[in-house]
Amino acid sequence: MKRFRKWLRAEPRHTSLPEKLHSEDDENVELTMDLNQNERTFRDIFKNCFDINFRKISLAGQERQLVIFIASLVNEEIIDDHILHPMLVNGIDKEAENEQYDAEALDNSVISAGSTKRSSNVNEIVRQLLDGHAAILTGSDNKAVLVKANGIKQRSLEEPSSEPVIRGPRDGFIESLSTNVGLLRGRLKTSRLKTEAVTIGSLSQTQVVLTYITGIASEALIDEVRERVKRIRIDAILDSGYIEEFIEDLPYSPFPQVHNTERPDVVTGELLEGKIAILVDNSPIALIVPMTFWTGLQASEDYYVRWPIATFVRWIRFLFLFIAIFAPSLYVAVTTFHQEMIPTNLVLSIASSREAVPFPALFEALSMEIVFEALREAGIRLPKQIGQAISIVGALVIGQAAVQAGIISAPVVIIVSITGIATFAIPRYSFASGVRLLRFPILFLAGTLGLYGIVLGFLCIVLHVASLRSFGVPYLTPLGPVTVTSLKDVLIRVPVWARGKRPGAAGTSDSVRVPAGQKPSPFREDRERN
């Protein structure tokens, strides 16, 4: 254990890559008044980059301005229409007056793009160039105008493939951070929705945005999340999954402590309950903290369908959660240790189906579970065209053929299928994966110790879950430490008009969500009179 930890924490032998790069950069290089020298500086920095463009504007045989941009990052239409065109048109006028623009004049009265800034620091300019800005250097100033001209092609908004709904909004996050933030802003038109940006990754310079609603999210929580995110030091962030692993409370737990979603409406709902979302550029998955056990069992659609149905579905999920963890283990334990617990007719039919099977029940169940996992994994990774083949082969192999060949008994196939269905009934994929993982140790315990083993395993799970915390919030809240008022969104899903106050996690002034007294009822005259 110690060695394992040591190995996990081991420092690389060489100086870490990010720091080396960092030291190469000279922070304080400033632009000069000499346009040619500035050009040389940038040409040097972007040596061997085919997509860097230097567009010189010379009027009357004199080089006056230099526009630098990275063609693969910008939208050239913006460059043409809002930078080059106004500069050339206005430049001719100025030429007549024999004047030259300095950076401020350019910025204020020539450039027609929306987002601009000025800088004289070479490093800053390089950073902005890499972020899709165009830099305009002028011979009469040591400052450059930076114009935002981002234009990476993005896919369009699509229905989130990992969290489909029958009823509810169908837009999902995409890989563009600004689009994603826009999706949230479109839902919460308030200035209280804050979007704090942090740049992480020495090479990737990935923008990570913390969003929350001031007055609803607690300040302590915001500070904690900000602290944890800012602590991250890494070369590149490729997906929000990287961030999740850095900020979670207990990395050894099978249960996810950071909630992730592809749906802007889920993020909005959680923000309204005082949680904090973390959006990461280039990732369509948003992170939400803190997470509780129950979020793992809630789907966004719960809030869009009528409440009795949602409540019923929630209880079905509790049942299936139990089945997903314990069904194969219970079967193994009962058939190998506690045969007296099965009704006589059932025990006889199980016995008859096991007559020809050569393996112990534990081995049967374990192997079928593993085959099922393989099928599931193969089904996800395979191209869609081949996917069908897998399901046909799977149904044949783990279904009929195995039973007919007398290798596997029919009840085990049924149990494994039910367990499979049960894990798919858990709406959050990351939570379901954790549950899937737990099944195997419990199965092993059941096969060696019987029901006693299952009880041991169950106790371990309960102890673990009860002690788990996500950003200071107990994982079982509001059932762990009981908060009666918050239970209305856990064990049942109360009607929207009965929602009342925000759940206890948010400790703030703005606690009422739905004012009381809105229960719908048919129109009555006496009500009108009162």
Partner 1 sequence: MKPFLRICLILSILLTSGCWDRTEINDLAFITGTAFDLTEKGEYLLSLQFAVPTSSDGGGTGEPQQKFFVLSATGKNANEAFEKIQKKNSRKLFTAHRSVILIGESLGRHGINDVLDVFSHDPRQRLKTYIMVVKGGEAQEVLQTRYPFDQVPMEAVKEMEIQRAEIATSLRDFFLAASSPGVYPMMGVIEAVSEGSNPSNKTNMFKLSGAAVFKDLKLVGLLDGFEADGLNWANSHMKDGRINAELPEGIGNVGMVVVRASRMIKSDLRGDRIHFKIILHGKGTLIENNTDLDVSVPKNLTLVQHALEKSAEKQIHNAILKLQKQFKADAIGLGRELYRNKPTEWKAVQKEWDQKFAEAEVTVDVKLTIGGAGMAGPPLQLNAEEILK
Closer Cβ to partner 1, 218 or 335, answer by number? 335
8 binding partner 1? (CB under 8 A) = no
At its nearest, how many Å lie between partner 1 and the CB of residue 2?
7
Are β-strands 52-59 and 62-70 bridged in parallel, bridged antiparallel, or unpaired?
Answer: antiparallel
**Surface-to-core class of residue 324, CB atoms within 10 Å of its CB (0-12 exposed, 13-18 middle, 19+ buried):** buried
Residues 115-174 that bind partner 1 (CB under 8 A): none
Query: CB of 152: closest distance to partner 1 in angstroms?
Result: 49
Please give the structure tokens belonging to residue 193. Answer: 């929705």
Residue 180 near residue 196, CB atoms below 8 Å: no
Q: Which of 125, 357, 432, 473 binds partner 1 (CB under 8 A)?
A: 357
Q: Which is nearer to partner 1, 214 or 349 (CB)?
A: 349
Candidate residues 58, 72, 109, 339; the one interacting with partner 1 per rule CB under 8 A: 339
| Contact residue for partner 1 among 161, 344, 385, 509 (CB under 8 A) | 344
Which is nearer to partner 1, 299 or 446 (by Cβ)? Answer: 446
Contact between 203 and 18 under an 8 Å Cβ cutoff? The reply is yes
Instruction: Specify the amino acid at residue 467.
Output: S
Regarding 348 and contact with partner 1 (CB under 8 A), the answer is yes
Considering beta carbons, is residue 190 or 339 the nearer one to partner 1?
339
**Where in 298-337 is the site for partner 1 (CB under 8 A)?**
335-337
Nearer to partner 1, 348 or 374 (CB): 348
424 to 483, contacts with partner 1 by CB under 8 A? Answer: 445, 447-450, 452-453, 456
Token couple for 527: 């009500």
1: contact with partner 1 by CB under 8 A:
yes
Number of residues that bind partner 1 (CB under 8 A): 29
- At 186, give phi and psi (nearest 5°): -65, -25
Q: Which two tokens stand for residue 422?
A: 């049960």
Q: Which is nearer to partner 1, 294 or 331 (CB)?
A: 331
Strand pairing report for 206-213 and 144-148? unpaired
Q: Which of 360, 387, 472, 481 binds partner 1 (CB under 8 A)?
A: 360
Strands (E), 290-334: none
Smaller CB distance to partner 1: residue 246 or 444? Answer: 444
Nearest distance in Å: CB 436, partner 1: 23
Of 344, 297, 287, 343, the closest CA to residue 320 belongs to: 297
R_g over Cα of the chain: 30
- CB of 254 closer than 8 Å to CB of 296: no
Residues 6+ apart with CB under 8 A from 81: 112
Output the smallest distance, CB 187 to partner 1, in A. Answer: 48
- With 0-12 CB in 10 A as exposed, 13-18 as middle and 19+ as buried, what is 45? middle
Q: Which of 183, 258, 361, 368 binds partner 1 (CB under 8 A)?
A: 361
Between 348 and 396, whose beta carbon lies closer to partner 1? Answer: 348
Which residues lie closer than 8 Å to 114 by C-beta, 6 or more apart? Answer: 148
Report how far residue 264's alpha carbon sits from residue 268's, in angstroms, rounded to the nearest whole number. 6
Point out which residues bind partner 1 (CB under 8 A): 1-2, 335-337, 339-340, 344-345, 347-355, 357, 360-361, 445, 447-450, 452-453, 456
